Amino acid sequence: MLLLFFLLLCHGCGQLSTRLALPALRDWFGALKKPAWHPPAWVFGRVWLLLYTLMALAGWRLAVHYPVGLWLWGLQLALNQAWTYLFFVRRSPGLALIDNGCLWLTSGLCVVKCWHADPLASLLMTPQWLWIGFAITLNYATWKLNRG
């Protein structure tokens, strides 16, 4: 039952992010200049489906093996949601970039701090941490191409 809760929470966050982003994806985002190495749109949905599943599994494991680690896990999930709001709803790649940096640091801290209690939970969070590192470079390049 606890695993189902974490799966519903994470994938619910993914659905909320998608719904928040849709209006901007239809108009504003398409008009932005993007770096040549920007992945095609279909990549993001598939990557986030996997990442939210891995985050749910990590959250579930932390709840069982290291409940104190859930505060970092929850913070990274909240920062993840905030990025979508800042980038797509507020249409502010600059603010989203700041959030992305905080998200990357929090996710990395979660990976490191939770390792001693549950190495598997840390490993499950690692792909998201790495993806956020890539997302920071993409966010920065998009911000730089479109500022002013």
Q: Phi and psi (nearest 5°) for 36?
A: -60, -25
Query: How far apart, in Å, do the first and last CA atoms of the chain sit?
Result: 50
Nearest Cα to Cα of residue 41 among 138, 132, 145: 138
Spell out the domain ranges in the chain: 2-146
Each residue's pLDDT tens digit, 82-130? 999 999 999 999 999 999 999 999 999 999 999 999 999 999 999 999 9
Q: What's this model's pTM, rounded to 2 decimal places?
A: 0.94
d(CA 112, CA 70): 13
d(CA 124, CA 120): 6
d(CA 73, CA 63): 10
Each residue's pLDDT tens digit, 9-59? 999 999 999 999 999 999 999 999 999 999 999 999 999 999 999 999 999
Match domain 2-146 to its CATH number in 3.40.50.10490, 1.25.10.10, 1.10.10.10, 1.20.1260.100: 1.20.1260.100
